[in-house]
Amino acid sequence: MNIATPPRTTADAFRDDILRHLTYEIGTDPSHAQVQDWRLALSFAVRDRIVDSWFAATRKTYEAGAKRVYYLSMEFLIGRLLEDGIVNLRLLDEARGALSQLGVDFDTVLSDEPDAALGNGGLGRLAACFLESLSTLGCPAYGYGIRYEHGLFRQSFEGGRQMEAPETWLLQRHAWEFERPEASYPIGFGGSVETKGGTTVWTPSECVFAEAFDTPIVGWQGRWANTLRLWSAKAANPFDLSSFNRGAFAEAAQPEALARTISRVLYPDDTTEQGKELRLKQEFFLTAAALRDILRRFDSEHDDLGKLPAKVAIQLNDTHPAIAGPELVRILHDERGMSFEDAMATATACLSYTNHTLLPEALESWGEGLFGRLLPRHLQIVDRIDSAHAKANPSRSLSVRADHQVKMGELSFVMAHKVNGVSALHTGLMKETVFEELHRLHPDRIVNQTNGVTPRRWLLSCNPRLSGLITETIGEGWVDDLERLKELEPSIEDAGWRQRYADAKRGNKADLAAWMAEAHGLTVDPDAMFDVQIKRLHEYKRQHLNILEAIALWQEIKDAPSGNHVPRVKIFAGKAAPGYFFAKDIIRLINDVAQVINADAATRDFFQVVFLPNYNVTLAERLIPAADLSEQISTAGKEASGTGNMKFALNGALTIGTLDGANVEIREHVGAENFFLFGMTADEVVARRKVENHAAQAIAADPRLKRALDAIKDGLFSPDEPDRYVHIVENLSGPDYFLVSSDFTDYWRASREVDAAYADAETWTRKAALNTARSGWFSSDRTIRGYMSDIWNAESLLTG
């Protein structure tokens, strides 16, 4: 069953392929080719080398009659694919050599690729890491998503304020996809439901086509490739000729424009769902197209629908594709004639659901008016599912339908055979809070699968200095067996080796400093501690706690400028949802504070604050290898897992963090002595909220906190508009739901411990290296193996 590693290529063969693509595919003479042309030609040459193993994987899956995994997700934050492909195919030297023969700069070509931002943050990036691990492990799988014309908005700052511009990744040809006009399905909305002769028929009033675009996702060493299939919306009746002939040109183009709206933009909101019709349409569009495709593939191999659960595992990435439950029941029952009970049991055996957040505002629900108008038959089926569940569980008090809403979390739970959380803490909290009653009724359903990250992108490719040292020390087996990083531990005792580890970090920091100077005109000292908080802006992630500490630190240094201060650069990056005004004000505050602090000649040598615009995968790949300190400071109980935290630890940044999400497990793995812990636990957070005036008490007890808040309130950072941030100060002094004030004092203490540790370079490097050596468990290969055995019952088709 082994699929051989594809044959190695040579730089000469590669060069010829690039020239062939440039000439015959792109139609450009090499003497006139621009960077973009070279990039496309190189991408096609790389893609050619993926296609063979892609086809072989598909053939092998059919031959073996194997079970396939289908990962349904509204988001895939895949980022750039060229370097990833080259690294996984192990063609780095050949590709570099070929381009150099052609007189073209390799790095310039790589950085010309747009960053495919078809996701908001952690949830979408996790889906991308999973696809890569599924291919590395040789598990037959498809990712199903939407081919948004515009991904997550492009962020810039004007006067410190976040500006949003549409993201245009498809402006140039997307090198990696294959259009599949033959794989196209009609998707209906609205209309009416009739029951005739015992069968129920839904006749939609509106129809769009979902057309497939396939991107192969290649695993390590090119031994296997799976498919990311993204759906694009097309009008069923694209052009109204009679309007055109009347001269009504805009009207004639309307059907096409309306249909395309469905795949036009990614909703730019990380957690809260906009209760918009378009969002529900997007969710149904993705899900219905995916199910049609899954059943077409199943029907081509099997004629007994009873086998569906043995051949098909469907993972719902959060509740966004939760309509898969009722839609699969509808197809099996209404269209295929299965009894309702069997249809429900079959669907449940195929489906499983991952919960990614407990934030109440993120638990999706739809008004029954909207739901019933768009999906009238599905509303009936939801009610039948609900009554069947109630009948089987007479003691239950909740239901999928309540307060004239359809609750997608409950629906997903009821229609899944397994429900998983994304870290041990989060899974425990799921059992105690949102799904408390459902867990009691179905005690075996909830399982944990702690998140992971792919080591190919997040160490091998993004940090060549460190990965080179690792491979030199322990060989390259770690790349697909990350726990082998443990074998580094004996070397960490060697001072010479530690120096090489420190040199790798220093080199990455120097590169980042040079890039910041060139791209943003910033001057930072690579010997200062790089203290990094990069993630979506959210009150629960507490970027405002970090900036308060920055203000207090600056004030302290100002008080004693000749003191013995540890030089630090605080680096922020992250986008706020366009409608989340408080988060946008935090961005502006950080930028305002940065301006004042960076202009202060008395403190500049010790402390700087930088907010880099437009956080995306590519920027993460630049920042994480250069970080000394990783800020993971969410209010305990609120960050389901985090995945950025794992990437930092793997790349040798030490964490300052709360006992939240996967921080808990990171600390267990790397050792408490190599992690800077602070703050209240999830239980203490709940208790603290009940204390009257908790924020005021915390402020009264800590003069540093009071002074920092006063500086903001007095307009020190916004002299042109002194009241600009009064509402933030009032929030942190009053309700302070996320307990910024109550956690400040302990955060300050831990930050000073960080300073002391950083001042001792030997000790710091040892701790950093131990973080790398002990982070192997956080590979997404481990996570995917867990899903395969505990949830999907799926097998790898790679051996040896």
Q: Which is nearer to ligand OX2, 270 or 592 (CB)?
A: 270
Q: Outline where 312-375 has alpha helix (H).
A: 324-330, 340-350, 368-374
Q: Does 637 bind ligand OX2 (CB under 6 A)?
A: no
* Number of chain positions touching ligand PLP (CB under 6 A): 12
Q: Does 694 bind ligand PLP (CB under 6 A)?
A: no
Q: Which of residues 484-543 bind ligand OX2 (CB under 6 A)?
A: none
Give the DSSP letter of residue 263.
Answer: G
Cα 264 from chain centre: 20
Residue 146 Cβ, how far from ligand OX2 at the closest point, in Å? Answer: 16
d(CA 462, CA 618): 9
Q: Kind and range of the H or E element at 546?
A: helix 543-559
- DSSP-derived 3-state class of residue 475: coil
Give me the torsion for CA of 57, 788, 407, 348, rounded to 10°. 90
d(CA 177, CA 179): 6
Q: Which is nearer to ligand OX2, 61 or 643 (CB)?
A: 643
Residue 429 Cβ, how far from ligand OX2 at the closest point, in Å? Answer: 12
Q: Which residues have a Cβ under 8 Å from the Cβ of 762 and sit 6 or more positions away?
A: 495, 498
Candidates 3, 126, 534, 791; binder of ligand OX2 (CB under 6 A) is 126
d(CA 80, CA 115): 5
Give the DSSP letter of residue 778.
Answer: G
Q: Which is nearer to ligand OX2, 83 or 318 (CB)?
A: 318
d(CA 224, CA 59): 11
Q: Does 422 bind ligand OX2 (CB under 6 A)?
A: yes
Q: Which is nearer to ligand PLP, 21 or 456 (CB)?
A: 456
Residues forming a β-bridge with 214: 178, 229
Binds 145: which of ligand OX2, ligand PLP, none (CB < 5-8 Å by kind): none
Q: Which is nearer to ligand PLP, 226 or 616 (CB)?
A: 616
CB of 367 closer than 8 Å to CB of 274: no
Q: Kind and range of the H or E element at 773?
A: helix 761-773
Binds 665: which of ligand OX2, ligand PLP, none (CB < 5-8 Å by kind): none
Residue 751 Cβ, how far from ligand OX2 at the closest point, in Å? Answer: 23
Task: Give CB contacts under 8 A, 24+ apart, made by 564-567.
Answer: 565/606, 565/607, 565/755, 566/529, 566/606, 566/755, 566/756, 566/758, 566/759, 567/525, 567/527, 567/528, 567/529, 567/605, 567/606, 567/607
Candidates 9, 61, 162, 451; binder of ligand OX2 (CB under 6 A) is 451
Residue with tokens 């006139």: 32
Binds 321: which of ligand OX2, ligand PLP, none (CB < 5-8 Å by kind): none
Q: Outline where 442-522 has alpha helix (H).
A: 455, 464-474, 489-492, 495-520
Residue 770 Cβ, how far from ligand OX2 at the closest point, in Å? Answer: 23
CB atoms within 10 A of CB 571: 24
Q: Does 643 bind ligand PLP (CB under 6 A)?
A: yes
Transcribe 539-599 into DSSP letters: GGGTHHHHHHHHHHHHHHHHH-TTS-PPPEEEEEE----TT-HHHHHHHHHHHHHHHHHHT
Q: Which is nearer to ligand OX2, 332 or 453 (CB)?
A: 453
Residue 448 Cβ, how far from ligand PLP at the closest point, in Å? Answer: 17
Binds 126: which of ligand PLP, ligand OX2, none (CB < 5-8 Å by kind): ligand OX2
Stretch that binds ligand PLP, among 89-97, 615-623, 650-658, 758-766 (CB under 6 A): 615-623
Q: Please give the structure tokens belonging to residue 481.
A: 């067996």
Stretch that binds ligand PLP, among 597-605, 616-624, 713-721, 763-771 (CB under 6 A): 616-624
CB of 247 closer than 8 Å to CB of 212: no
Q: Kind and range of the H or E element at 213?
A: strand 206-218
| Residues tagged active-site | 356, 535-536, 541, 643, 647
Stretch that binds ligand OX2, among 119-127, 213-221, 333-341, 378-386 (CB under 6 A): 119-127
> 794: alpha, beta or left, given left = phi > 0 and alpha = psi -120 to 50?
beta
Q: Which is nearer to ligand OX2, 357 or 718 (CB)?
A: 357
Residue 554 Cβ, how far from ligand PLP at the closest point, in Å? Answer: 25
Candidates 319, 354, 508, 616; binder of ligand PLP (CB under 6 A) is 616
- Sheet with 401-402, edge to edge strand ranges: 365-367, 405-407, 401-402
Residue 129 Cβ, how far from ligand OX2 at the closest point, in Å? Answer: 10
Residue 427 Cβ, how far from ligand OX2 at the closest point, in Å? Answer: 12
Binds 736: which of ligand PLP, ligand OX2, none (CB < 5-8 Å by kind): none
Distances in Å between the alpha carbon of 563 and those of 205, 555, 567, 602?
74, 13, 11, 12
Binds 644: which of ligand PLP, ligand OX2, none (CB < 5-8 Å by kind): ligand PLP
Q: Does 121 bind ligand PLP (CB under 6 A)?
A: yes
Residue 76 Cβ, how far from ligand OX2 at the closest point, in Å? Answer: 13
x-marked contacts with ligand OX2 along 337-376 as a string, rule CB under 6 A: -------------------xx----x--------------
Binds 356: which of ligand OX2, ligand PLP, none (CB < 5-8 Å by kind): ligand OX2
Helix 694-701 to helix 726-733 angle (10° resolution) is 100
Q: Please give the structure tokens belonging to residue 379.
A: 């509303």
d(CA 380, CA 412): 16
Q: Does 271 bind ligand OX2 (CB under 6 A)?
A: yes
- DSSP-derived 3-state class of residue 182: strand
Q: Which of residues 528-547 bind ligand PLP (CB under 6 A)?
A: 535
CB of 265 closer than 8 Å to CB of 152: no
Residue 681: Cβ-neighbour burial (10 angstroms; 0-12, 13-18, 19+): middle
Residue 676 Cβ, how far from ligand PLP at the closest point, in Å? Answer: 17
Q: Does 661 bind ligand OX2 (CB under 6 A)?
A: yes
The closest alpha carbon to 74, from 265, 298, 297, 277, belongs to: 265
CB atoms within 10 A of CB 332: 22
Stretch that binds ligand OX2, among 33-41, 117-125, 698-706, 773-781 (CB under 6 A): 117-125
d(CA 542, CA 533): 10
Q: Does 421 bind ligand PLP (CB under 6 A)?
A: no
Q: Which is nearer to ligand OX2, 298 or 540 (CB)?
A: 540
Q: Which is nearer to ligand OX2, 431 or 704 (CB)?
A: 431
Q: Does 426 bind ligand PLP (CB under 6 A)?
A: no
Cα 44 from chain centre: 26
Q: Does 429 bind ligand OX2 (CB under 6 A)?
A: no
x-marked contacts with ligand OX2 along 71-110 as a string, rule CB under 6 A: ----------------------------------------
Q: Kind and range of the H or E element at 215?
A: strand 206-218
Cα 475 from chain centre: 30
Residue 643 Cβ, how far from ligand PLP at the closest point, in Å? Answer: 4
Q: Please give the structure tokens belonging to residue 544.
A: 């405002």
Residues forming a β-bridge with 206: 189
Candidates 316, 640, 680, 682; binder of ligand OX2 (CB under 6 A) is 640
Candidates 6, 85, 122, 652; binder of ligand PLP (CB under 6 A) is 122
Residue with tokens 């060139």: 518
* Number of chain positions touching ligand OX2 (CB under 6 A): 18
Q: Which of residues 300-329 bind ligand OX2 (CB under 6 A)?
A: 318
Q: Which is nearer to ligand OX2, 221 or 448 (CB)?
A: 448
Q: Does 455 bind ligand PLP (CB under 6 A)?
A: no
Residues in the site for ligand OX2, rule: CB under 6 A? Answer: 121-123, 126, 270-271, 318, 356-357, 362, 422, 451, 639-643, 661
What residue ranges bind ligand PLP (CB under 6 A)? 121-122, 125, 535, 615-617, 620, 642-644, 647
